[in-house]
């Protein structure tokens, strides 16, 4: 059934429940001198390109490929529209490798037709920190689908990760592959219900009018928690301590240091928003919340072309109840004109989703590890990891 994935060091469906197989790496590292030195072969008319997404021209090419060919919902009504600034942020964390930003061009026209990326990350699994790649933005142009180009892209990024002496990876997908370490549910909180209904993102509930629906989702004009403010650069040490301690409670999570927190959590306009609670008495940082900005193109609609969505990222509560903290996050997202606030049921998110009027979406997100076997699938609440 999975001609490609059956050949890869990932948990296989046939091995589910086999308690004789230990948790941990499936294959041992090979000496670097034994890693294939040349790129994998592409069909004749295509060539590899290592992408530098800093110059506007190259970033434009990647942006356009993704804007017209990346992930859609199951009814092809919406397509992710990552911004160029978002892509630069997502692909250039501390210690990134340019060689892991891989494009494929048509030799004759130089048109970019496929893409895949990796970034380095330290991921903790139980009590072990593993140096991994996070793989994302796998995309093949719509006109070149089902020609088995994806397996070549995946083998090539794997080869380049191996060349940096890393042997594991983490990735997420909306489809089931061999085999998820966890399966999470997307939840959506309407901020602009009229637009969401107009564009077919959501529907008017049974026995609901538009005006009752608008009233149902109304939020206060301003945030409620005293000391709630935007994160600033001088907060990096305090936020790092807060988040490291919080993430240590999950089975799988990133191992963030101060450099990572500065990169991933310091606010960047229209990319990443982070807020914290500084106690008005002690000036301690006690709570934190964050969301990233990922608009979707609305496909074939008369009056609207973009859905502005916020995605819950990392949230930590020690004093302010998580429910109240996330309600304040919804209030800022509404102030900033987002149409919807999305979240997965990871970490402790289940404790606020229903109460804050999130509803389950029609999409799931499956989490995977490459070359790392898990004995059992995790519950979403055991996952402390959010990928972009």
Q: Does 6 interact with ligand EN5 (rule: CB under 6 A)? A: no
Shortest distance in whole angstroms from residue 63 CB to ligand NHW: 14
- The token duo for 207 is 């026995």
Cβ(229)–Cβ(263) under 8 Å?
no
* Selected range binding ligand EN5 among 156-164, 172-180, 238-246, 264-272, rule: CB under 6 A: 172-180
Shortest distance in whole angstroms from residue 388 CB to ligand NHW: 9
Q: Does 90 interact with ligand NHW (rule: CB under 6 A)? A: no
Q: Does 70 interact with ligand NHW (rule: CB under 6 A)? A: yes
In total, the chain counts a number of residues equal to 388
- The token duo for 292 is 């990233």
CB under 5 to 8 A by kind: which of ligand EN5, ligand NHW, none does 138 bind? ligand NHW
Q: Does 43 interact with ligand EN5 (rule: CB under 6 A)? A: no
Q: Does 71 interact with ligand EN5 (rule: CB under 6 A)? A: yes
Binding mask of the shown chain, residues 125 to 144, with x at each position contacting ligand NHW by CB under 6 A: --------x-xxxxxx----
Shortest distance in whole angstroms from residue 378 CB to ligand NHW: 18
- The token duo for 341 is 């606030």
Catalytic residue among 219, 356, 369, 388: 388
Q: Please give the DSSP secondary-structure letter assigned to residue 234.
A: G
CB burial of residue 207 (10 Å; 0-12, 13-18, 19+)? exposed
* Selected range binding ligand EN5 among 41-49, 252-260, 266-274, 359-367, rule: CB under 6 A: 359-367
Q: Does 73 interact with ligand EN5 (rule: CB under 6 A)? A: yes
Report the alpha-carbon distance of residue 365 to residue 182 in Å, rounded: 8
Report the alpha-carbon distance of residue 40 to residue 152 in Å, rounded: 7
Cβ(112)–Cβ(122) under 8 Å?
no
Shortest distance in whole angstroms from residue 349 CB to ligand EN5: 14
Among the listed residues 42, 58, 77, 150, the single contact to ligand NHW using CB under 6 A:
150
Tell me the β-bridge partners of 182. 367
Report the alpha-carbon distance of residue 338 to residue 310 in Å, rounded: 7
Cβ(12)–Cβ(2) under 8 Å?
no
Shortest distance in whole angstroms from residue 136 CB to ligand EN5: 6
CB burial of residue 70 (10 Å; 0-12, 13-18, 19+)? middle
Report the alpha-carbon distance of residue 99 to residue 76 in Å, rounded: 32
Restricting to residues 180-219, which ones interact with ligand EN5 according to CB under 6 A? 186, 188, 190, 201-202
Q: Is 387 a catalytic residue?
A: no
Tell me the β-bridge partners of 79. 72, 297
Q: Does 136 interact with ligand EN5 (rule: CB under 6 A)? A: yes
Among the listed residues 125, 169, 251, 271, the single contact to ligand NHW using CB under 6 A:
169
Nearer to ligand NHW, 131 or 194 (CB): 131
What is the maximum span of the chain, computed from C-alpha positions, in angstroms?
A: 67
Q: Please give the DSSP secondary-structure letter assigned to residue 17.
A: T
CB under 5 to 8 A by kind: which of ligand EN5, ligand NHW, none does 75 bind? ligand EN5
Cβ(184)–Cβ(353) under 8 Å?
no
Report the alpha-carbon distance of residue 258 to residue 7 in Å, rounded: 38
Catalytic residues: 388
Summarize as ranges the residues that interact with ligand NHW (CB under 6 A): 2-5, 69-71, 133, 135-140, 145-151, 154, 157-158, 161, 166-169, 171-173, 175, 177, 370-371
Summarize as ranges the residues that interact with ligand EN5 (CB under 6 A): 71, 73-75, 77, 136, 172-174, 186, 188, 190, 201-202, 359, 361-363, 365, 387-388
């Amino acid at each position: 059934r999975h001609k490609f994935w059956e050949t890869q060091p990932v948990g296989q469906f046939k091995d589910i429940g086999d308690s004789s197989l230990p948790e941990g790496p499936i294959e041992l590292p090979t000496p670097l001198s034994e890693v294939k030195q040349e790129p994998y072969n592409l069909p004749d008319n295509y060539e590899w390109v290592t992408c530098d997404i800093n110059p506007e021209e190259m970033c434009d090419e990647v942006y356009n490929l993704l804007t017209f060919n990346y992930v859609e919902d199951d009814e092809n009504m919406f397509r992710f529209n990552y911004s160029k600034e978002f892509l630069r942020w997502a692909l250039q964390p501390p210690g990134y490798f340019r060689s892991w930003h891989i494009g494929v061009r048509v030799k004759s026209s130089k048109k970019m037709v496929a893409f895949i990326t990796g970034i380095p990350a330290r991921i903790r699994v139980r009590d072990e920190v593993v140096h991994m790649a996070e793989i994302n933005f796998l995309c093949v142009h719509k006109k070149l689908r089902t020609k088995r180009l994806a397996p070549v892209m995946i083998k090539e990024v794997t080869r380049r990760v191996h060349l940096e002496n890393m042997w594991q990876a983490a990735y997420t997908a909306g489809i089931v592959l061999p085999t998820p370490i966890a399966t999470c549910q997307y939840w959506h909180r309407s901020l602009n219900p009229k637009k969401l209904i107009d564009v077919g993102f959501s529907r008017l509930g049974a026995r609901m009018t538009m005006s009752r629906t608008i009233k149902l989702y109304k939020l206060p004009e301003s945030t409620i928690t005293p000391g709630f403010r935007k994160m600033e650069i001088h907060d990096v040490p305090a936020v790092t301590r807060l988040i490291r301690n919080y993430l240590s409670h999950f089975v799988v999570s990133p191992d963030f240091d101060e450099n990572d927190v500065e990169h991933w959590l310091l606010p960047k306009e229209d990319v990443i928003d982070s807020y914290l609670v500084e106690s008005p008495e002690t000036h301690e940082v006690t709570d934190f919340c964050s969301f990233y900005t990922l608009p979707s193109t609305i496909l074939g609609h008369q009056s609207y072309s973009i859905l502005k969505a916020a995605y819950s990222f990392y949230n930590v509560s020690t004093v302010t109840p998580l429910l109240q903290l996330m309600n304040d996050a919804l209030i800022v997202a509404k102030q900033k004109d987002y149409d919807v606030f999305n979240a997965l049921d990871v970490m402790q998110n289940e404790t606020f989703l229903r109460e804050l009027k999130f509803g389950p979406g029609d999409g799931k997100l499956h989490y995977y590890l490459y070359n790392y076997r898990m004995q059992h699938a995790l519950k979403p609440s055991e996952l402390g990891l959010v990928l972009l």
